[in-house]
């Protein structure tokens, strides 16, 4: 198993191994429910760009280590990486967005194996995959309203494409964590299987994908992307207006309270 090089933080890793024409990409952050650190986001971006160039591949399986998919971004890094407006904009547009775009742009079919926690950034990653097979006990949601900030446009695109307007707003405004059957009903999943069967079911699906014509798979992915309505990207002025929340009291309070293990006291400022 290869390890994608880490940034200097050394926290969390992205592992890659191969089973014939199938690449197995594993999110690994022990003790943190595979929370995605900056180095891991950067590793995902570079790895998926590299995998797209491997013509011998037929499928990529993306999974988490130790019974969980991913618990979102590593909030412990927020005071350092997202300390002000410039940091928030850089984090979301230059760290998270390129990773999600690389997964979505992968020329090979990408299959998410979802177990345990799949929330926040974990759900954003899964939403960029082509197929999502979940264990029946998996849990989903985007509880960032408790952190005092919204979902960035580049991160919302995948969720909105799957769940649509009504369900996306429900997920973001309520901030609930919900089960696999509800996730399936919202359009977030391909199918739900018993916990003990998920790994085997994913590999069976991966091998079916690997047996298909790779050119047909690439064309199908490109055609679906082209036919699905894709709104124009936000302008620089719109992006800056969105990220103005970075200097709000509620944003600072949400992150502070989470790291302190306290209940946030939001004021609307």
pLDDT bracket for residue 2 (50, 70, 90): low
- State the pLDDT confidence band at 7, using cuts at 50, 70 and 90: very low
Q: What is the DSSP letter of 235?
A: P
Report if residue 54 sits inside a domain: yes
Decide: 190 and 133 in contact? Cβ < 8 Å: yes
Angle at 134 between CA 129 and CA 135, to 5 degrees: 160
- The mean pLDDT value for 235-244 works out to 82
Q: 247: pLDDT confidence band, cut at 50, 70 and 90? A: confident
**Inside any domain, residue 235:** no
Percent of the chain with pLDDT over 90: 74
Q: Is residue 190 part of a domain?
A: yes
pLDDT at 218: 92
| Per-residue confidence band for 10, with pLDDT thresholds at 50, 70 and 90 | low
**Residue 48: inside a domain, yes or no?**
yes
Residue 97 lies in a domain: yes
In a domain, 124, yes or no: yes
Confidence band of 242 (pLDDT split at 50, 70, 90)? confident
Residue 20's CATH number: 3.90.226.10
Instruction: Name which of 216, 221, 180 is nearest 197 in CA terms.
Output: 180
User: Tens of pLDDT along 165-223?
Assistant: 999 999 999 999 999 999 999 999 999 999 999 999 999 999 999 999 999 999 999 99
Alpha-carbon distance of 26 to 70, in angstroms, equals: 10
CA distance 108 to 242: 33
The mean per-residue pLDDT over the stretch 251-262 comes to: 85
DSSP states of 127-152 = HTSSEEEEETT-EEE-GGGGGT----
Domain for residue 252, yes or no? no
Buried b (16+ CB within 10 A) or exposed e, 127-158: bbbbbbbbbbebbbbbbbbebbbbbbbbbbbb
Model pLDDT, residue 15:
97
Residue 241 domain-assigned (yes or no): no
Question: How far apart, in whole angstroms, are the C-alpha atoms of residue 136 and residue 133?
Answer: 10
Domains of the chain: total: 1
pLDDT by residue (tens digit) across 104-143?
Answer: 999 999 999 999 999 999 999 999 999 999 999 999 999 9
Domain residues for the domain of 165 are 2-227
CA distances from 94 to 84, 136, 228, 269 (A): 15, 34, 25, 27
């Amino acid at each position: 198993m290869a390890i994608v090089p880490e940034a200097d933080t050394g926290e969390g890793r992205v592992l890659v191994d191969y089973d014939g024409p199938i690449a197995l990409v594993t999110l690994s952050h022990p003790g943190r429910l595979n929370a995605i650190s900056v180095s891991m986001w950067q590793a995902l971006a570079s790895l998926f760009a590299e995998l797209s160039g491997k013509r011998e591949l037929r499928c990529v399986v993306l999974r988490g280590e130790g019974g969980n998919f991913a618990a979102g971004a590593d909030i412990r890094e927020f005071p350092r990486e997202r300390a002000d407006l410039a940091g928030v904009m850089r984090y979301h547009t230059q760290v998270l967005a390129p990773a999600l775009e690389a997964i979505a742009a992968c020329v090979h079919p990408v299959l998410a194996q979802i177990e345990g926690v799949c929330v926040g950034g974990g759900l954003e990653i899964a939403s960029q995959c082509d197929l999502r097979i979940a264990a029946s006990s998996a849990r989903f949601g985007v509880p960032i309203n408790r952190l005092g900030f919204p979902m960035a446009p580049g991160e919302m695109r995948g969720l909105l494409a799957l769940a649509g307007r009504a369900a996306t707003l429900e997920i973001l405004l309520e901030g609930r964590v919900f089960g696999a059957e509800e996730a399936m009903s919202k359009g977030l999943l391909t199918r739900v299987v018993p916990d003990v069967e998920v790994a085997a079911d994913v590999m069976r699906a991966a091998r079916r994908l690997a047996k298909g014509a790779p050119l047909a798979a690439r064309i199908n992915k490109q055609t679906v992307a082209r036919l699905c309505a894709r709104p124009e990207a936000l302008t620089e002025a719109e992006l800056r207006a969105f990220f103005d929340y970075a200097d709000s009291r509620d944003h600072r309070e949400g992150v502070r309270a989470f790291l302190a293990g306290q209940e946030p006291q939001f004021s609307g400022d």
